[in-house]
Chains A and B, each alone.
Chain A
């Protein structure tokens, strides 16, 4: 199988280096980088706009370009997350946390550089995983049933407590706010709209970009304006243009770990884009000797989720290309693009259209190389954006965000809703509540509910499915382990206090949280 894969890849390279395909690959990754950078305009909107235009193209060329937009946007998405704390994509939320802190410390260029490198490593590795292991991985992915997905989401939710720096109580509270927000929308099983207040726009729930843009981006802008002179706060400190040797030494292991986690979770058609990035971030923080640096510009906290995004962006193609099952909106569009050209995405694409399958994969290798050069060279341009006076910059950001948000559903309602979330975001900044756990609850909650109910429907109401299915049982074991470690230290502190010994690190809020 390995040999045929290499042979196939070789044939694919021949397809991918044809001038037209090479050009469209370049167009795709440039467009992808741009829409990734533009806040709110994501690959979903871009690909939907361009899909009709690819009608007249050769299907291989069309798919090469559309795929380039998708993984190119993963590179570009980190740019606004780092520079402006604007996560355009679900997966970029984590990059905001430490990436923007690095920018505030004058290390914007390093952060951008190291994310480009991390993205590159992950992109190449992810593509090779697609080449070598696609058929094996997809059969593993199919073993994930609703019960297993539920347990995976549960681990994710528990792990999101790890992501925050403040008190555990606030983090848990924010997760619950996120879960509540996630309830808004149509119930999958009954079709009844929940908390839509008669608004047809709320029938499909609140869009992730609306919440993320409002809480992070808009909230941050309001807070910045309140402080008065923000000019040059970020710009003046830009020193080193590229990551230092120290940065690289600190990053290479997190890059590899993030790549592994992202690649593995990207294969699962039902897991969604954010889970890999969150898992990679939480894992790095958990195993770090200095977890307190996270959230204050830890480079590991930037590269691990970035690598996870990009690895997942490549392995996302596995369920689509081997089974015709798209995981998420972008892959559904890719499936649509194939269907427009009369190709039914499915198990036989690899054999009936090898030039398409291998051509697409080979183009990803080329595309990732192009993206590395493109992004390393663009850093100087992006960093200059920060030198624009804030009085000019912030209206521009708001305008671009509003256009992006409008373009999601061609809906003015969403723009207004984002403004509301902006006010809420400002309130959270003032009260020291972190929006990241909220977003995690918001993303995972609806999926968890859907899988929980489906697992119970399919097991005819038997709750033991969660522990009798081996994958689910293992994941729940991991969750229990995380809870134990979360509670252990504070509990030990309480015990030591009780026995009269002075606690090593008297953190006042944590013992109180243990009871909650």
Chain B
């Protein structure tokens, strides 16, 4: 009886498995997402939320592996050299575009070494100052900075981040001259602004939000061109007469170049479905991420336009290339 059942089950499995193998075999083993940050950082949290829901959908574990360091290039190089089968993905961000210009001898290329999968989220940027600074909107801040060239200090998270390049971009666009102060990450930069050792900061909204809400920081302007749902009263740079300051910080996933198109399409469909899932979406919004989604081509365009934009800023400010 038992034997019969087993035989039957085996036979059934063989019959059923054969056509399935021909169709949608991907993924038949765990998928690894390598991220450029340490656990607990925002890229880590994103990958874990996406990974958790994706794993439920595809029926395979999704493993998040942290490879921090080297400005993200260590993780990127790993994935660029991984087998192009869709089982190794890179969780990445603006840094992919920025590093392409900032570093001279990268062992990979942001566009040609990777196959874009999807842009998962975007994160708005905010210009905020400490409560002692006599400016309540962008124009007052620009007037203040113009009246005292070189005296207003703007902190930024770290070299090669959208915050640091954002300070330079703002200088280039508006002609103000501020003292940029670079930190190792967003938290010590915020500490110095809260302690009134630095005057202001350009940073991703999420870490600054609690201090803006408590009134210790004054938010003067947000980017991109639409206001953030978290700060509906703070106008954008575009609204306040600086239309060129219009970018977000994005995060998304890429695979090694040469990954088959149907695998990329499958990954894109699954992650799009995760982003559309109300529960996952709520978790993303809780982290002050703005869920995006879309096609692989759209992410490719984002990476490409990022390279162009940041190359201009890097060259205009004579930032020395790193090797």
The reply to whether B45 and A336 form a contact with Cβ atoms under 8 Å apart is yes
Q: Kindly state the separation between the CA atoms of A270 and B195 in the bound complex, as whole angstroms.
A: 12
Q: Kindly state the separation between the CA atoms of A200 and B78 in the bound complex, as whole angstroms.
A: 12
Q: Which chain B residues lie closer than 8 Å to A457 at the CB level?
A: 153, 179-181
Contact code string A485-497 (vs B, CB < 8 Å = 1, else 0): 0000000000000
Say yes or no: is B297 at the interface (Cβ < 8 Å to chain A): no
Q: Which chain A residues lie closer than 8 Å to B39 at the CB level?
A: 47-48, 51-52, 333, 336
Expressed in whole angstroms, the minimum distance between the Cβ of B214 and any Cβ of chain A is: 5
Main secondary structure of the interface of A (DSSP, over half): helix
Given contacts A144-B195, A344-B210, contact A191 B68 (CB under 8 A): no
The reply to whether A347 and B211 form a contact with Cβ atoms under 8 Å apart is yes
Q: Which chain A residues lie closer than 8 Å to B171 at the CB level?
A: none
Say yes or no: is A509 at the interface (Cβ < 8 Å to chain B): no
The reply to whether B195 and A143 form a contact with Cβ atoms under 8 Å apart is yes
Chain B CB count within 10 A is highest, among A201, A204, A329, A454, for A454
25 contacts between A and B (CB under 8 A): A51-B39, A52-B64, A142-B191, A189-B159, A189-B182, A191-B160, A191-B322, A193-B322, A203-B70, A203-B71, A204-B70, A269-B188, A319-B191, A323-B191, A325-B187, A333-B38, A335-B40, A336-B41, A342-B287, A345-B210, A347-B216, A457-B153, A457-B179, A457-B180, A458-B153
Q: Which chain A residues lie closer than 8 Å to B48 at the CB level?
A: 52, 55, 340
Expressed in whole angstroms, the minimum distance between the Cβ of B77 and any Cβ of chain A is: 7
The reply to whether A200 and B70 form a contact with Cβ atoms under 8 Å apart is yes
Expressed in whole angstroms, the minimum distance between the Cβ of A193 and any Cβ of chain B is: 7
Q: Kindly state the separation between the CA atoms of A410 and B68 in the bound complex, as whole angstroms.
A: 10
The reply to whether B153 and A348 form a contact with Cβ atoms under 8 Å apart is no
The reply to whether A410 and B192 form a contact with Cβ atoms under 8 Å apart is no
Say yes or no: is A145 at the interface (Cβ < 8 Å to chain B): yes
Q: Which 10 A-B pairs have the closest CB atoms?
A: A336-B40, A346-B210, A48-B39, A191-B159, A145-B197, A142-B195, A342-B286, A204-B69, A333-B40, A203-B70
Mark out the residues of chain A between 306 and 346 whose CB falls within 8 Å of any chain B CB in the assembled complex: 319, 323-326, 329, 332-337, 339-340, 342, 344-346
The reply to whether A146 and B66 form a contact with Cβ atoms under 8 Å apart is no
Chain B CB count within 10 A is highest, among A191, A193, A340, for A191
Main secondary structure of the interface of B (DSSP, over half): mixed
The reply to whether A192 and B151 form a contact with Cβ atoms under 8 Å apart is no
Q: Kindly state the separation between the CA atoms of A143 and B181 in the bound complex, as whole angstroms.
A: 18
The reply to whether A190 and B159 form a contact with Cβ atoms under 8 Å apart is yes
Expressed in whole angstroms, the minimum distance between the Cβ of A62 and any Cβ of chain B is: 12
Given contacts A190-B320, A346-B210, contact A200 B197 (CB under 8 A): no
Chain A CB count within 10 A is highest, among B38, B195, B206, B283, for B195
Q: Kindly state the separation between the CA atoms of A346 and B191 in the bound complex, as whole angstroms.
A: 12
Q: Which chain A residues lie closer than 8 Å to B196 at the CB level?
A: 142
How many residues of chain A have a CB within 8 Å of chain B? 50
Q: Kindly state the separation between the CA atoms of A326 and B52 in the bound complex, as whole angstroms.
A: 26
Given contacts A192-B322, A336-B44, A458-B153, contact A344 B195 (CB under 8 A): no
- The residue of chain A having its C-beta at the shortest distance from the C-beta of B51 within the complex is A52
Say yes or no: is A288 at the interface (Cβ < 8 Å to chain B): no
The reply to whether A324 and B210 form a contact with Cβ atoms under 8 Å apart is yes
Q: Which chain B residues lie closer than 8 Å to A345 at the CB level?
A: 210
- The residue of chain B having its C-beta at the shortest distance from the C-beta of A334 within the complex is B40
Q: Kindly state the separation between the CA atoms of A460 and B64 in the bound complex, as whole angstroms.
A: 43
Say yes or no: is B67 at the interface (Cβ < 8 Å to chain A): yes
Expressed in whole angstroms, the minimum distance between the Cβ of B39 and any Cβ of chain A is: 4
Q: How many A-B residue pairs have CB under 8 A?
A: 143
In-complex Cβ contact of A270 among B71, B73, B188 (8 A): B188
The reply to whether B153 and A188 form a contact with Cβ atoms under 8 Å apart is no
- The residue of chain A having its C-beta at the shortest distance from the C-beta of B286 within the complex is A342
- The residue of chain A having its C-beta at the shortest distance from the C-beta of B288 within the complex is A344
The reply to whether B45 and A409 form a contact with Cβ atoms under 8 Å apart is no
The reply to whether B192 and A191 form a contact with Cβ atoms under 8 Å apart is no
Contact code string A32-60 (vs B, CB < 8 Å = 1, else 0): 00000000000000011001100100000
Q: Which chain A residues lie closer than 8 Å to B65 at the CB level?
A: 410
Q: Which chain B residues lie closer than 8 Å to A203 at the CB level?
A: 69-71, 73-74
Q: A323-B191, A344-B210 are in contact. List 4 more A-B contacts (CB 8 A).
A: A55-B52, A191-B102, A332-B41, A458-B197
Q: Which chain B residues lie closer than 8 Å to A326 at the CB level?
A: 187
Expressed in whole angstroms, the minimum distance between the Cβ of B154 and any Cβ of chain A is: 11
Q: Kindly state the separation between the CA atoms of A294 and B287 in the bound complex, as whole angstroms.
A: 50
Q: Which B residues are within 8 Å of any A CB, using their own CB? A: 38-42, 44-45, 48, 52, 64-71, 73-74, 77, 102, 150-151, 153, 158-160, 179-184, 187-188, 190-192, 194-198, 206-207, 209-211, 213-214, 216, 283, 286-287, 320, 322-323
The reply to whether A454 and B181 form a contact with Cβ atoms under 8 Å apart is yes
Q: Kindly state the separation between the CA atoms of A347 and B190 in the bound complex, as whole angstroms.
A: 13
- The residue of chain A having its C-beta at the shortest distance from the C-beta of B184 within the complex is A188
The reply to whether A146 and B210 form a contact with Cβ atoms under 8 Å apart is no
The reply to whether A192 and B320 form a contact with Cβ atoms under 8 Å apart is yes
In-complex Cβ contact of A48 among B66, B151, B192 (8 A): B66
Q: Which chain B residues lie closer than 8 Å to A340 at the CB level?
A: 40, 45, 48
The reply to whether B102 and A332 form a contact with Cβ atoms under 8 Å apart is no
The reply to whether B69 and A409 form a contact with Cβ atoms under 8 Å apart is yes
The reply to whether A188 and B183 form a contact with Cβ atoms under 8 Å apart is yes
Q: Kindly state the separation between the CA atoms of A326 and B210 in the bound complex, as whole angstroms.
A: 14
Q: Which chain B residues lie closer than 8 Å to A55 at the CB level?
A: 48, 52
- The residue of chain A having its C-beta at the shortest distance from the C-beta of B44 within the complex is A336
The reply to whether A200 and B211 form a contact with Cβ atoms under 8 Å apart is no
Expressed in whole angstroms, the minimum distance between the Cβ of A405 and any Cβ of chain B is: 15
Q: Kindly state the separation between the CA atoms of A335 and B322 in the bound complex, as whole angstroms.
A: 31
Mark out the residues of chain A between 203 and 249 whose CB falls within 8 Å of any chain B CB in the assembled complex: 203-204
Expressed in whole angstroms, the minimum distance between the Cβ of B235 and any Cβ of chain A is: 23
The reply to whether B71 and A186 form a contact with Cβ atoms under 8 Å apart is yes
Q: Which chain B residues lie closer than 8 Å to A319 at the CB level?
A: 191
Q: Which chain A residues lie closer than 8 Å to B179 at the CB level?
A: 457-458, 460
- The residue of chain B having its C-beta at the shortest distance from the C-beta of A338 within the complex is B40
Q: Which chain A residues lie closer than 8 Å to B44 at the CB level?
A: 336
Expressed in whole angstroms, the minimum distance between the Cβ of B150 and any Cβ of chain A is: 7
Contact code string A459-475 (vs B, CB < 8 Å = 1, else 0): 01000000000000000
Say yes or no: is A450 at the interface (Cβ < 8 Å to chain B): yes
Q: Kindly state the separation between the CA atoms of A177 and B65 in the bound complex, as whole angstroms.
A: 35
Contact code string A283-309 (vs B, CB < 8 Å = 1, else 0): 000000000000000000000000000
The reply to whether A348 and B213 form a contact with Cβ atoms under 8 Å apart is yes
Q: Which chain B residues lie closer than 8 Å to A191 at the CB level?
A: 71, 102, 159-160, 322
Expressed in whole angstroms, the minimum distance between the Cβ of A461 and any Cβ of chain B is: 10
The reply to whether B194 and A200 form a contact with Cβ atoms under 8 Å apart is no
